Chains A and B, each alone.
Chain A
Amino acid sequence: MTQTYVPRETAVVGNMQASVPAAASIGADSQNLTVQGVVRQFGSTRALDRIDLTVQVGELLTILGPSGSGKTTLLKIIAGFEYPDDGVVLLGDKDITSVPPAKRDIGMVFQNYALFPHMTVAENIAFPLQMRKVSKSECRDRVQNALNVIDMAGYGDRLPKQLSGGQQQRVALARAVVFRPKLLLLDEPFGALDRKLREQMQLEVCRLQRRLELTAIFVTHDQEEALVMSDRIAVMEAGKIAQIGTPESVYRRPVNRFVAGFIGESNLFEAQMLDGNRATIAGGISVRLPVSQVPADRNIGVLLRPELAKRLGPDDRADTTLTGKVQEIIFLGESVKYRVRLDEGMEVIVRWPCHAMEAGLQPNDRITIGWNQDDVHVIDWN
């Protein structure tokens, strides 16, 4: 057994402390998961191309990628609904590569929850326990316990169709953890919920996962969701893991064009190295790179995050300076986005907190913007 992963500190608040003793009976047998060199071939396309991945006990890892990137295939292989053409999957020390799903002890929450419509909430939650021949009285206790944990104590006799989307979601979650799975899988479980409820459920799932110290893998195409929920994010691109790291590192230090473009908003330019730590981008604009990131000679690009831009007055200076004309102003509530056409012809996006509105910029106004050396990030352009 590896040591328990220590989750990052996040703003997990609320009433989770209240019923911690109840949690002891569910979801405490977490194991770490290791995926080694997994390959899955569909005809001539490689859906998965030598995937290596480790998830520590108690860690929530998000597999993030656009549709077709192979994330669902990877999830199916971990769950056992599909088998890899090459490579192994280990749960704890046990090789489960060819173990059928029923024998893996992995809890899974499906995209549409997959609650059994003909069973009540309590019967749904009891199902995995009955399959494990848990005695009737223990089964009843653990179901009751699970209902308490998801705050649905009075709902045991309802049918799934009598529940709201959020409640169904919680039942699906309870069913997936009630048998103390070694691993919890979540397949885009929030897709069907409206924004408010989704944010609430994201926090609830995070809380439960931390409290039960579950090893969890969460699959999504929603980068915002990934940033909110994960201890680490694995960004998938065309069957490969492009980058894996904490949400912060993936956002602030993406390794290549794909990751930089997929997570957050970005201004991306191909760049040529000049002397020292300077590079030029299209239009001959010179960009000063952070000292720590000066690359060896290879194809590079620069990432200029919109929110890191500074508006420059006539006397202000920045390491990288651009001038242009405001094309469009987009009000987003807490911030304002400006589309700026540079004198050199390219377009950049900058975003500032809402009070920037008070500067009174109008479309067609000329504007000078700059990025400090350390706010520029160098990426792999290939």
Chain B
Amino acid sequence: MNKSFLASRNFRDGSSAAGLPALIFLAVLFVMPIAILFMQSFEGGNFEHYAKAIFDDLYRGVLINTLLIAAYVAAICLVLGYPVAYFLANAPPFWATAGLIFLLVPFWTSILVRTYGWMVILGRNGTVNRLLLDMGLIETPLQLINNVTGVLIGMVHVLLPYMVFPLFAVMKRMDSNLLAAAEGLGASRWEVFRRVYFPLTLPGVLAGVTLVFVLSIGFYITPALLGGGKVTMSALLIERQVSQFLNWGFASALSVVLLVVTLLVHLALKLVLKGNMQWS
């Protein structure tokens, strides 16, 4: 691929000069930091940091925990986002626009603000608990923040649009003739969905899941605030290594491991996509 890029006419005839600033920008601010990170992780010239990051129960536990939380978030986003995307793609224009606005306004709001918002709503004395207590549905306040539940709620809220948009895109492109054809051939509503509609939205499902999962793996603010120190995800761990222990080398190794795992997951999902969707 690189070869064909270099050999391409565009590259040689100078018309790509316009892209040069961007290339320099990327080289200085993206490639170089990653190279430095990579080098730092081998501090001392051995794999000591990596051995600790991968084989130490504590750090491996955090990594697994991170992946699990990311998987939960992706799954919840899919279950919640699929019907939302379906509604947006099929509702009459007014309602579709209204729905999109409801989805976009939080999307444009700072994560920090939204996370504090959730702390107010979900806290011991928060709106939800007050309401449930007043209605007599519970006797003691529910623990909704400073645990995994809180982290999941906050992360799902932030990441839901990333699931909805790819789904919305494939649903909007759906050829309604295919659904009519399935129905005409004798399929019930459920069969039309199961055999035709859902399989045809799979590219959107995988795109959304990949996006949400990958973004979840590196999440920092939400687990930091809503986890209340009880939920440790990789990004938190890395930050602590830097700010509290000044252990740049180990932090770098943790970062590289996280980066590699993220890339592997991304690749794996891509392979699934390729195997399952030769038709698209």
Give chain A's interface residues, CB within 8 Å of chain B. Answer: 79-81, 100-108, 110-112, 114, 116-119, 127-128, 131-132, 159-161, 175-176, 179
Q: Is the interface of B mostly helix, strand, loop or mixed?
A: helix
Does A118 lie within 8 Å of B184, measured CB to CB?
no
| 17 A-B interface contacts by CB (under 8 A) | A81-B184, A100-B183, A102-B186, A102-B188, A108-B184, A110-B181, A114-B178, A118-B200, A118-B279, A118-B280, A127-B185, A131-B185, A131-B186, A131-B188, A159-B279, A175-B185, A176-B185
Bound-state CA distance A362–B196 (Å) is 62
Which of the listed residues A79, A107, A110, A111 has the most CB atoms from chain B within 10 Å of its own CB?
A: A110
Q: Is the CB of A132 within 8 A of B186?
A: yes
Does B180 lie within 8 Å of A101, measured CB to CB? yes
Contact among A102, A161, A176 with B183 in the assembled complex (CB-CB below 8 Å): A102
B195 at the interface (CB under 8 A from A): yes
Name the distance in Å between B171's Cβ and chain A's nearest Cβ: 15
Give the residues in chain B near A176, CB-CB below 8 Å: 185
- On whether the beta carbons of B279 and A117 are closer than 8 Å, the reply is yes
- Is A112's CB under 8 angstroms from B280's CB? no
Interface residue count on the B side (C-beta < 8 Å): 22
- Chain B residue numbers with a CB within 8 Å of A161 are 279
Decide: A116 and B186 in contact? CB cutoff 8 A: no
* B8 part of interface (Cβ distance < 8 Å): no
With both chains docked as a complex, state the minimum distance between the C-beta of B188 and any C-beta of chain A, in angstroms.
6
Give chain B nearest CB distance to A27 CB in angstroms. 14
Task: Give the complex CA separation of A176 and B280 in angstroms.
Answer: 24
Further pairs besides A79-B184, A108-B181, A131-B191: 19, Cβ < 8 Å: A81-B180, A81-B184, A101-B180, A101-B183, A102-B183, A102-B185, A110-B181, A112-B177, A116-B178, A116-B182, A116-B195, A116-B196, A117-B200, A118-B199, A118-B277, A118-B280, A131-B188, A161-B279, A176-B185
- The closest CB in chain A to the CB of B192 belongs to A102
* A19 to B186 Cα, complex, angstroms: 28
Most chain B beta-carbon neighbours within 10 Å: one of A107, A118, A175: A118
* A105 adjacent to B186 (CB under 8 Å): yes
Q: By CB atoms of chain A within 10 A, which of B186, B187, B199, B200 has the most?
A: B186
